[in-house]
Structure 1
Amino acid sequence: MLDTYSFNDILFKKSNTFCFDSESFRYLIARKNRIEFDDYQKDEYKRSWITSVNETNRLIQYICNELKPCLQKSWMSIEHAQFQINRMIRPILETIKNTMRNLILLDKSSSKSLIKLCPSPVDRNSATCTKCSHSPILCGEFWITRYDLHNLSDRCSQCECDFSRHFKVNYVLKYELCDKKQKPSFHDMKRNLEQLTQIIIQFAYFYKYLVHIATGNDPILSVLNRMIKEEKSICSQKGNQNLNANLYDNLKSFKNEYEEAWSMSMSNPKTITLPEIYKLIKTVSENREISEQLSIIKQMEDIYMNEQEKLIQ
């Protein structure tokens, strides 16, 4: 009879079926509400608890001794892919933005240095406020917004701005100048930029057709808009005669290309499969600058998980 309830290669049999009696849990709730029981009822609940304990031990033994692990590398799901892409959005866009900076510098024959991204970890509750003023710093020939980190829990400890004005950060970027010879050529950078912009557009199709996110909730566009706003603010403060004006124009052009691809897909839907998305995720992960940022994010996630495990213990 049990065999008739088996599913594919998962057998339904006594050895992998576990019974947990709810009576003991009901007893605990009842006692918490000061309900009294006679000795016979207490004995029944005691036997129920012992049954559940034995079944729990049997389940743990079964998991440890009988089951084979399912390797994460073989997982494919929309939710898992979405989790991976969500982590990548800022690293990809920061890399695109910095590549644009360096292409502008390479286009200037007088420029001898390029800009390198240097990610570093932050406290878990770190956030930045988009309403508070932030002073840009000069790195070579580019002004770069330096965000003051706020500590965000139930409320911000540094400002009185609305909670919605803050966005959490899981790493900060510092910037270093490096010699041109230590970086890829102009054409290699150009090719890398084109590849990343096309991948981010493919991720937009993923959000639209597989996750079914509306344009107004697009997480990619949200980060991109914030970057454009940063450059606009710098141009307002420092004038339009610096290289940030070129970067501002490039970011706006990229946004137009992104939005055009999104709107064109309304009339001409794009087909994208989950295996294709995973290939793109792998390609992005192999980019050195993106990989370094993802490594810091993973480091912060591991710290958080360890903290939670200690709390549970």
Structure 2
Amino acid sequence: MAKTNEPLMIKANRNSDPSNDINVLLLGQTGVGISTFINALANYLCNDTLEEACKDKIQAVIPSAFSFTDGNTLEQKTIEIGQRNEHEDCNEEGRSCTQRCRSFVFPVGDKNLRIINSPVIGDTRGLELDTKAFSDILTFISQYEHLNGICILLKPNEERLTILFRFCINELLRHLHKSAHQNIIFVFTNARATFFKPGATSKILRVLLDQHKKDHDVDVPFSRDNTFLLDNESFRYLALRKNGVRLNNDQLLSYQKSWDHTIKEYSNLINCIVTRPLFAVSNAFSLNEAEQLVRKLTRPIAEIAKLIQENIQLAKQHKENVLKNPQLANQGLPQNEAKIIPLAHPRTVCINEKCCKSITVNNQTKIEYISKCHEECYLKGVVQETINDRRMQECEAMNYKTGKCLKCNCLWSEHQHITYEYETNIARLNGSCSLADIDKRISDLRDEQTKIEDIYKKLAKFLHANSMLPLNDDILEYLRLFIREEQMKKNSGSQNNDVIQGLKEMMKSYEQEMELFKRTIDSEKDRSSSKDVLKSYEIFSLVGTLYRLPINGSKIREQVNGLNINQTKLISKQEVLVELPAKADSSALMRQFKNIMSSN
């Protein structure tokens, strides 16, 4: 058997008991060094000293890039470490490096240490991306049973701390249970510059924490027990060495001291994390889960609303035909049945009129979208079916300068991100169908339509009052799309005036009621406490009544379940099992980690 030169590696166990995992969420603003935190940890686990690390292969779990200026020539050079991938954007100045949540699972004996790397807050592209990033963080961590630690990374002299704090504290505690304050840990990076002290940030942080306690009655501790001072610049030193840059002895000594101090702090940090009471994620995400569920319902409800209109029209046409020819009553009532076809991968398609065409299938006019612009589109941050979402600009099919699709040349706003296809075909209800049966079917369909509309309006009001994200009324986008499709069918000869009129009436009713609601709650201080707004725990029982509707409830549930499965698949692609050289298993830091984790 041929010998291999591949080094022996240790790797986290994906099948380990998740209740024993140590889960740590990292939060911070642009430039604070979240990715460097993870890369540095990988190197500390492999080498006991900086001198040893200089001789070893650098561990670059996450691709990284930074600028270095030569002190003698003042020449600037870009240093890159690791292989670039679609998850990281490490080459554009001022933009967030981590583009979406990913978890990095380190092997620690028979347990896993999961470090969750989140999109950083304070992106130069604006506040809207910050709110979407935070929503993505909440969605991502909801897959885990618990969090051991929520680490907020700060710079010791950070003037923009207020922006970070409002997102990482106020928004976090708004969506989590108040008990989460026990798991919040402050980690100061780049602390070598302030002699491993919190610096000016300490005073600002205390003021903000006091204000938070006054406004929300939540006491978030800030003491030496939950505060840690690191400096991971030694990772950058290793990166410079690997790129042929040599620094003087004074600089080397400084980095050696930083390395030795930071390894001790990492050990103290892990000890703090594992001794915290577990924060049960599954029991504390009712608000975020409710938001997620309501957003997932938008496309299914819009499609069922259209289906109901089609079936009412089919029933009315059949009634007219039976009146002319009673023999037709024995053929059964024709009704459209919907079929959900899950896609192997999320897809971006163009919905512009020029990228679709009318086709006739079994004497029915249908609209076919012919431009599949990105067949496997794992778009950053998108967890729902969406139309005209600004995140569509980030799709690989889009030209980032013009905003137009590289495949069909239509604007990004005319594209849709989908995880399933929706088809309808006419079938006949079993048995003969009297005129009274037809009238009852029409009445039942209209009754379901009214119930669905009323339920969705309540759900939409909940979103308007509670959502972190600016709400775009996705239901209106879908109704406009379906009205346009029906108009195209009409131009091709379909007799579908009732369908068009029904969709227009639903759209008008929704717009009028929501406009009145928005004017009412905008004047209220606490929008979520309005008497017209559901509580998060009421969402699930209300949606349950939607699922139990006798004609269309099971179809709505099937679509939502499909979206949940697709979201789970997407999230699973965002977990990395970190492989480390076998020698890491016996490093000083790894031994400390094992002792800490086994004794707690």
Same fold (TM over 0.5): yes
Q: Which residue pairs with 1:300 in the alignment?
A: 566
- Please give the alpha-carbon distance, in whole angstroms, between the structure 2 residues aligned to 1:189 and 1:199: 15
Spell out the pairing of 1:42-191 with structure 2 (5 A cutoff): 42-56=252-266, 59-60=269-270, 63=273, 66-77=276-287, 81-107=290-316, 108-109=318-319, 112-122=333-343, 123-138=345-360, 142-152=364-374, 153-155=396-398, 156=405, 158-181=407-430, 186=441, 187-191=443-447
Establish whether residue 37 from structure 1 lines up as the match of residue 248 from structure 2: yes
More helix as a share of residues: 1
Deviations 1:13-59 (CA, angstroms, capped at 9, x unpaired): 76654442355357568767947231x54344234334434544554
Aligned to 1:258: 510
CA distance in 1, matches of 2:470, 2:261: 50
2:556 to 279, 290, 312: 290
Deviation at 1:90, TM superposition (A): 0.8
Task: Give the structure, 1 or 2, with the largest relative contact order (CA under 8 Å, sep 6 or more).
Answer: 1
> Are 1:24 and 2:234 an aligned pair?
yes
What are the Cα deviations for residues 56-109 of structure 1, in whole angstroms up to 9, with x where unaligned?
Answer: 4554565567542423353233x6544432222111111121122223334434
Q: TM-score, normalised by structure 2?
A: 0.43
User: Unpaired segments of 5 or more residues in structure 2?
Assistant: 1-205, 320-328, 375-395, 399-404, 432-439, 522-529, 580-600
CA RMSD in angstroms comes to: 3.9
Residue 423 of structure 2 aligns with an amino acid whose one-letter code is K
Residues in 2 aligned to 1:311 and 1:175: alpha-carbon distance in whole angstroms: 42
User: Helix, strand or coil: the match of 2:354?
Assistant: coil
2:421 partner amino acid: V
Looking at structure 2, the residues matched to 163 and 10 of structure 1 have their Cα atoms a distance apart, in angstroms, of 43
Contact kept, 8 Å, 1:115 with 1:176, in 2: the verdict is: yes
Give the TM-score taking structure 1 as reference length: 0.76
Give the structure 2 partner of residue 219 of structure 1.
474
Distance 1:50 1:284 in 2: 60
The answer to which of 94-103 and 11-20 deviates more is 11-20
For the 8 Å contact 2:309–2:502, the answer to whether it is kept is yes
Quote the Cα distance in structure 2 between the aligned partners of 1:91 and 1:54: 53
Which is worse superposed, 57-66 or 82-91? 57-66
Query: Could you report, residue by residue, the CA deviation over 1:173-227 in whole angstroms, capped at 9, with x for unpaired residues?
Result: 1224444259xx7254433322211122223323444449889x43221121111
- Aligned match of 1:235: 490
1:202 and 2:202 matched: no
More strand by share: 2
Residue in structure 1 matching 2:533, options 265, 272, 277: 272
Structure 1 unaligned regions, length at least 5:
none
Aligned residues: 302
Deviation sequence 1:211-269 (CA, Å, 0-9, x none): 49889x43221121111111111111114xx2x22211111111121122123336655
Larger Rg computed on CA atoms = 2
Q: Quick check: 1:131–1:165 contact (8 Å CA) kept in 2?
A: no
> 2:94 maps to which residue?
none
How many percent identity over aligned positions?
Answer: 22
**1: distance between equivalents of 2:413 and 2:559?**
25
Give the SS at the match of 1:172. Answer: strand
